């Protein structure tokens, strides 16, 4: 697994990003951010962008890239970003070892 600052992008996450880029005919980068709010105190935000900002942490795997803004990096230390396709839906998710609790949707968490 590609690892930078203890944040990783799984093969499943990289494959889904590659498929999205191919579908749009251009590279897409997944921005992963942590915002205040949500039912547990913090929430993850995912956004497809054309290119990372100059101060973003960029994590690459198998030709796909994610970008994390400098403020979010400490909240994501040790996390992995992946893509899951389950009965309840298909989505990018963050598996964050720092989260002490999370809501049922998996988008918000507490530290």
2.60.300.12, 1.10.10.10, 2.40.480.10, 3.30.70.260: which CATH number matches 2-110?
Answer: 2.60.300.12
The more confident residue out of 35 and 62 is 62
**101 strand-pairing partners:** 110
Determine the pLDDT at residue 89: 80
CB distance 46 to 76 below 8 Å = no
DSSP state, 69?
A: -
Determine the pLDDT at residue 41: 76
Stretch 17-42: mean pLDDT: 89
Stretch 80-92: mean pLDDT: 89
% of the chain exceeding 90 in pLDDT:
66
Distance (Å, whole) CA 14 – CA 64: 5
| Domain range summary for the chain, segments of one domain joined by + | 2-110
Radius of gyration of the chain (CA): 13
Question: Residue 20 pLDDT more than 70?
Answer: yes
**3 strand-pairing partners:** 8
Q: Which of 34-43, 56-65, 81-90 has the lowest mean pLDDT?
A: 34-43
Question: Residue 107 pLDDT more than 90?
Answer: no
Mean pLDDT (the chain) is: 86
Distance (Å, whole) CA 44 – CA 65: 17
Question: Residue 2 pLDDT more than 50?
Answer: no
């Amino acid at each position: 697994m590609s690892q930078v600052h203890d944040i990783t992008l799984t093969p499943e996450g990289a494959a889904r990003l590659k498929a999205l880029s191919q579908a749009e005919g251009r590279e897409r980068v997944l921005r992963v951010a942590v915002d205040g709010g949500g039912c547990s105190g913090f929430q993850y935000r995912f956004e497809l962008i054309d290119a990372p900002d100059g101060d973003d942490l960029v994590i690459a795997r198998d030709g796909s890239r994610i970008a994390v803004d400098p403020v979010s990096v400490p909240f994501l230390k040790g996390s992995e970003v992946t893509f899951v396709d389950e009965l309840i839906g298909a989505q990018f998710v963050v598996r964050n070892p720092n989260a002490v609790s999370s809501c049922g949707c998996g988008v918000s968490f507490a530290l």
